[in-house]
Amino acid sequence: MEAFWKAFVLPANDTDTHNSACLVIVTSTYHDDPSRIHSDLQKLWLATIPPHSTNRRKKIVFLSGLATHDLIQLYNIADAFVLPSRGEGWGRPYIEAMAMCLPVI
């Protein structure tokens, strides 16, 4: 996650306000406590990009508990799919993304 977040921090001299790139982080709380997941993500985000940093992008979105039709809409507007996972059994999200013709990383 740290590497992805760092990619969404503008260099200090960057004035590009027209960049439309957005990082969407979708979490599933099927096997875990939602508050713990969000707390851990927030701690990692703050440790990676300090809150006083002047070059933070406001284009990182956290989503959780999406309905199937919402996931389909998200796949439809995405440019690529990344699942930074270790230990994914079958990898259903990979299959879903490929079924929507998304490049998968």
Asked whether residue 49 is assigned to any structural domain, the reply reads: yes
- Is residue 55 within 8 A of residue 12, CB to CB? The reply is yes
Asked whether residue 5 is assigned to any structural domain, the reply reads: no
* Tens-digit pLDDT profile for residues 19-54: 677 888 888 766 677 777 778 877 877 777 666 665
Asked whether residue 16 is assigned to any structural domain, the reply reads: no
Query: What does the alpha-carbon distance between residue 79 and residue 59 come to, in Å, rounded to a whole number?
Result: 15
The band of 12, judged by pLDDT with boundaries at 50, 70 and 90, is low
Compute CA 85 distance to the chain's CA centroid, rounded to the nearest angstrom.
12
pLDDT at 18 > cutoff 70: no
Q: Which domain holds residue 56?
A: 22-99
Asked whether residue 15 is assigned to any structural domain, the reply reads: no
Asked whether residue 47 is assigned to any structural domain, the reply reads: yes
Asked whether residue 7 is assigned to any structural domain, the reply reads: no
Asked whether residue 61 is assigned to any structural domain, the reply reads: yes
Asked whether residue 54 is assigned to any structural domain, the reply reads: yes
Q: What's the total number of domains in the chain?
A: 1
pLDDT at 97 > cutoff 90: yes
* pTM listed for this prediction: 0.70
